[in-house]
Structure 1
Amino acid sequence: MNSAKSNLVGFDISWDEQDSEFDLQDQTQDNEFKELLESYNTGSEVREGSIVEGLIVGIANDCVQIDIGHKTDGEVPVQEFKNSEGEMVLKIGDKVEVYLDSFEDNDGEMILSRERAEMLRAWDRISVAYENDEIIEGEVIARVKGGLSVDIGVKAFLPGSQVDLRPVKNLDKLINNKFKFKIIKFNKKRGNIVLSRRVLLEQDREKLRTETLDNLKTGAVLKGIVKNITDYGAFIDLGGVDGLLHITDMSWGRINHPTQLFEIGQEIEIKILSYDDTRQRVSLGYKQLQEDPWLKASQKYTVDKKTKGVVVSLTDYGAFLELEDGIEGLIHISEMSWSKRVRHPSKLVSLGDEVDVIVLSIDAESRRISLGMKQMEPNPWELVKEKYQVGDVIRGKIRNITDFGLFIGIEDGIDGLIHISDISWTERVKHPGDNYKKAQEVEAKILQIDTEGEKFSLGIKQLTPDPWEEASKSFPPGTKGQGTITKLTDFGAFVEISPGIEGMIHVSELDVAAIDKPEEVVKKDQVIDFIVLSTDSDERKFSLSRKAHMKGLEGDKLKEYLSTVSDPQTAFADAFTQAKDLGTETASEEKPLEDKEEKKADDKI
């Protein structure tokens, strides 16, 4: 079936197949109605298929006798003369219009119908009302598929979308109520009538809208009805005009959803914040009806003032406290504890907690207040600064062991760190846990106290002299010595020249003949003779040569040889760099990671 359009001026309403689900009768009744319309005689001549006037001459239990001026009277079922309460609405002697279906049926009786006459007359009135765009009145009598059935003299269909301006959830509540309608679809052949109440409401709304627009002014205070609620705000019906009350303009305080303050259908007083006449957009405010609490915040929350608030939000960087409606302050994660590295604020506070704080700073213009929690307690780092000095030797128990060092308990809530590079001068410690256990008591020297950075650095190796200093004095360049090979690599051999001190012989310095691999001329644990080529105290490196010893170089020849191989651009420098890259790094190379790794350790504690 092709879609039809309303002939209502100013309304462009298209109706698809789904809007035509409602028919006045079932298929059989539909066909009968078509035949009735086709046979209907609108002339004044009394003949079959016309409406005639008759006189009630008799009323029996089951029928009413009607005299239409024919040689015989016709009979109409008595039910067609009763109202919804079952009472007769006419009496003998009353005139009535009836539809003449047939002068004689197979039994020779005249067939009349009052219902058909009323329906055809009603149809005529409805047709005129449709053509003249008139308003009609009807009563909702039943709920049907897709909408409601309405009695307007005949049954008509009211789609659910045309009941009101907004969708009606409970259509049943409209049954037995009378309303005014516009006919928006009229199909005479099928006897199908579609109504709309919405178009009338829209017309009324447009009139009200015009009046409201005339009164819209920024700063005006009006009343409105909450029409719809979303996550970001509420739409308020001001009277034909909708305005948006954004969630940020509902309260000076924090709200998570508009339903905390409003509900659909509620009447509220609001303030016009702005009105765009071109786009006809209205922005509304509810909190603006009250004084902004930040106007007096600077006088109320001065720096160093102690106060309290309720935790209303937690983030990775801190906790927000509501000090009063509309005023919140931030406790940064760094202001929560003197001695603990707090991984997340939830480790110390929870939503809804009441917390005592001190005001650290306030910027009323930016609406920001910085709060401190740890400042409510004495700073333990000030005590540490007074009690301990760099160079002091202390004893303490190991509180935690990590990949990068040992944490030693100093004071309540304060630990000192012995970095892995400060455990031994000579031993390459792969993991501190290999040599130490939790709760073990150790002795260490204080290397650094940083109260601002809240760091306390300790060292075990600093308890004894640095053996590298003694070794560098004992093995200057040109010194002959003897040592044991501890390790072979592709680029050379490492030799222990004194307890815990190693030097390296590059593969090019292992033999007078050219070789590809150290294994061709030496082996691990072999004792060899060497000459020291160069030393680097800062890098803690000794460059050695077996070849120079094998050549028996001495005096000027040895000096000339040393100057050649000690050039930074030679293969020796490259070999030391390669040794570092291949995993022979010293503990000092890990030190820059201390801050990052120390934080990880505190997170685990």
Structure 2
Amino acid sequence: MEEISKISADQNEELVETSIDEVFKEVLEIPLVEAPETSSKPSKAKKSEIGAASAHDDFDWSADDAGFETYSKDERKQLEVSYNSTFQPVIEKQVVKGVIVGMNEKDVVINIGFKSDGLVSRQEFRDIPNLALGDEVEVFVDVAEDKMGQLILSRKKALQETAWEKIVDAHNSGSIVTGYVRSRTKGGLVVDVFSFDTFLPGSQIDTKPVRDYDQYVGKNMDFKIVKVNEIFKNVVVSHKALIEDDIEAQKSVILSKLEKGQVVEGVVKNMTSFGVFVDLGGIDGLLHITDISWGRINHPEEVLKLDDRIQVVILDYDDAKKRISLGLKQLSAHPWDELTDDVKEGSTISGKVVSVADYGAFIEIKPGIEGLVHVSEMSWSSHLRNPSEYLNVGDEVQTQVLTLNKIEHKMSLGIKQLTQDPWIEIENNFAQGTKHSGVVKNLTTYGLFLELKEGIDGLVHVSDLSWNKKIKHPSEFTKKGAVLDVIVLEVDKINRRLSLGHKQLEENPWETFETIFTIGSVHEGTVMSTNDKGATIQMQYGVEAFGPSRHIKKADNKPLVDDETLEFEVVEFSKDAKRIIVSHTNIWKGAERANKEAENNEKDKVRRNESKVVKKMNQTSEKSTFGELDALTALREQFEKAEKSTKKEVAAKVNEPIAPDAGVVKSEKIIGKSKSKVPVKEVVDATTNDAKSLKSLSGVGPVMEKRMNGLGINSLQNVLDLDTSHIETMVSKDAKISSEQWNKWIEEAKSI
């Protein structure tokens, strides 16, 4: 160290001397400018200047302080060549080798053969714990000489320049590298390998699961590079691979010593839902969940814990695949071998539900002894589809042993056998015609199933739900879980079937509907729904009727809308089919026909009255005079005016009920000078009965009453005066009212 320092000091002095000599040399080589001669005799000042110049010319600038000459030009050149040959050419941004010539706690001094040494931080040598003077290392020349004249070196950059090549070579060759664990990250650790950050997954730290990653931070460890990504420059290392290499070498030795049935000791290394892995001292074996306990368990953690030391038996092993199957329950006796004699067919035993499947439930009688209760053996009900509706895991239940096979370790159990079959007394408990209440268990397209008692289910057909409504699906009438009153319609004990009905609890209203909704009767109805075929109409008493598309046209040609209330005429009634066909179109078309017929009848009456008056005048008058002719002309004009007013009165009377005090209206005129009164026409037939009394007849409403008035029927007396010929005449005028209907009204009028 001291020798190197002396050499550096001497070199610096020589460099300084050389630089000064070169400066003076350049100064001395400058040519002197001669002054022009002004006179032959110099002045005193000039003499002094000449004397000074002569003195400088005699001075030896190459002499040292002692007055001795140093080196000649040739000697100086030789010395410069020899001095420069001691330096190595230094190029920035390149990796060079250097020797450690000094170091302390913070820095390391490195000589790379340049005129000055460089300093490198001690932290960049943390991967070399035994760093010493004289060690040769590679450094990166960052700056050859900065503003302060310092040489800037970096070992970290030197390593980075060569790190990726070293990592790729180590991965290809499979060699072991040493790295420094810098910090913890998500899922593993960050490891510095060749000053390059690599990733160590948590699963690659050790062969055993590692729970505390922080214990490895700040340590130097050996690793194996297992994955290199050239594109993203990602590197994955593994410490577990080194351990596994050692274990693989030991597996062959361990497997050669194993035998089936051998009992060995191991440590629970890892735990999964299907079993646990046991470390047998260098090799792992699988202890499946079914081989842990004779009883049923859902997870190995119910019996074992991590790091437990247990005794296991070798069940099987595969030399090629190096797999070992272990067993724990095999170290104890099988529970079926210790089954007592009190468990036999027909005996009643209790147990706990340990599993529920689609086909049944498993009942644990004792640890390791289970029996199956099939879904058909749970309840006498034939509609139990899913065992989970009847049993749950953990339930304590009483069962009866149906079958027992100790050799095959199978047991069949039943629950419904503990109670009496309810179908034995079905005819006594649920006789035909009796009324009961039940709970709706299931809904189908053709009906619903009702549970009257546990094990007793009956079917209520969709047609037996309501008398009035047309139900397409039971969900329109009730819902699952609802309580419904029914009556027993039919009992089939052999096939275990029960037919039930709900609408039969009430009398058949269609017997009464037959007398109310007679053909031709008019009723108010509310539109429930419409479609392409027609509309469903809600009539009185909750009965539904149907109006075909051709019968639901309105007078204003507007379509029917839901919840609209209109008058409908019954055009068809079927008690057996429970069907009513109604029409709204017939009502307004019938009113139009009635108005036309009333107008025609009035015209006929006017013509008849006119002819009678003319005939009477001809009889009373022998001669015709011009004055009489004028009176006759005035009378004709009066008849025409009366005819027009009569049409208006008839139309108004068809649309309004006739007043009870309506009498006979007559027109009188004074003819000629005699001023005698002559009857002209009768506008409306006199009536003394109340017109509203027609509504007391069945099926007669405001619209039907108008139609009857148009036929000349204004009171109950008119109905009583009808005979067969009159009825036939009215049927021919209005075919919508049948002769049977007229006869019914005559009988009702008699009773009234």
Q: Which has the larger radius of gyration?
A: 2
Shorter chain as denominator, the TM-score bin is 0.3 to 0.5
TM-score (normalised: structure 1): 0.47
Which fold has the larger relative contact order, with Cα–Cα distance below 8 Å and residues 6 or more apart in sequence? Answer: 1
More strand per residue: 1
